[in-house]
Every structure is written in structure tokens, then in C-alpha cells.
Amino acid sequence: MELQLSMVVLEVADLDASVRFYRRLGLDIPDPDPDRPVVAHRMGSGVTLLITRGFASRYDPTWAPPAGGGYSQLLEFYVGDDAVVDSTWADLVGAGYRGRMPPTKTAGPYAAIVDDPDGNAILLTSDEAASPDAS
């Protein structure tokens, strides 16, 4: 059996703020269950984005959030062509989210980086290789 990435889990400080961010990004994130601090969204690629509050600290006594403005992961979202990268960046930064890199033609794809509410770096890209339709 080939190993597959099935889920990305984000440990967040404020579940509602994260839900608002990822909805604004364009994901159809469901409302959280008031009795369970977790939401999940399965994307067309088959990967599930799970957003939770309190899981890591409950089960891993050594867990601590990243400090100093750094990030330990970069989540890439294929958003469409270059114009959609531009408009998504403008919308998120205009809504007050921290922009790390404005839309730029990198050595690879056209891309931009913005932080989600917990400082996770979100790469917005027009890289066709990241499209769910890529073979």
C-alpha cells in the first residue's frame, strides 16, 4: 500500500477565528459543534483539513505553540490563476490578516503568503501542479 497524506491537523487558539479565516479563503468549513472543539473539511484532493483547539495540549504534555513569529509548516492552497492569487491576497490582507509575501513570481509558481489567525503560513498559489485536477 502506498503511504498517503490523509489529513492536516491545525491546533489553533481560537476555533471561531480560524473558521472565519478558512471560509474567507474559500473553503466550505462547517460550523463547529458547541460540545466538541473541532471542524473538518475534506477537499477535492482527498486531504482533510482538521482544525481543533486543545487536542495537542491535552494529549502531549510537551506541546507548545510556535514562538517568535516563526512557523513550522507552510500550507499550500491552489487558488486558481495569477489573478485569483492577487485577489485572494488582497481580500485576506485587507481583512487584517498578516501578509508575509505579496503576490510574487517565485523561482517556481506565482504565489503569496499570508498568516492564518494562529500564525500558520498559508501559501496561495497558481501552480497547476498543486491543482486537484493535476495528474
Mean pLDDT on 52-77: 82
Domain boundaries, given as residue ranges, for the chain: 7-130
Amino acid in the structure at residue 125? T
Which pLDDT belongs to residue 107?
79
Biggest CA–CA distance in the chain, Å, is 45
Please give the order of strands across the beta sheet that includes 99-105.
74-78, 121-125, 110-115, 99-105
Angle between helices 82-94 and 15-25 (to 10 degrees): 150
What CATH architecture applies to the domain 7-130? Answer: Roll (3.10)
Tell me: the pLDDT tens digits for 12-21? 989 999 999 9
> Is the separation of the CB atoms in 32 and 17 below 8 Å?
no
* 67 φ, ψ (degrees, to nearest 5): -125, 165
pLDDT mean over 108-135: 85
pTM of this structure: 0.82
pLDDT in tens, 8-48: 989 898 999 999 999 999 999 999 988 889 999 999 988 99
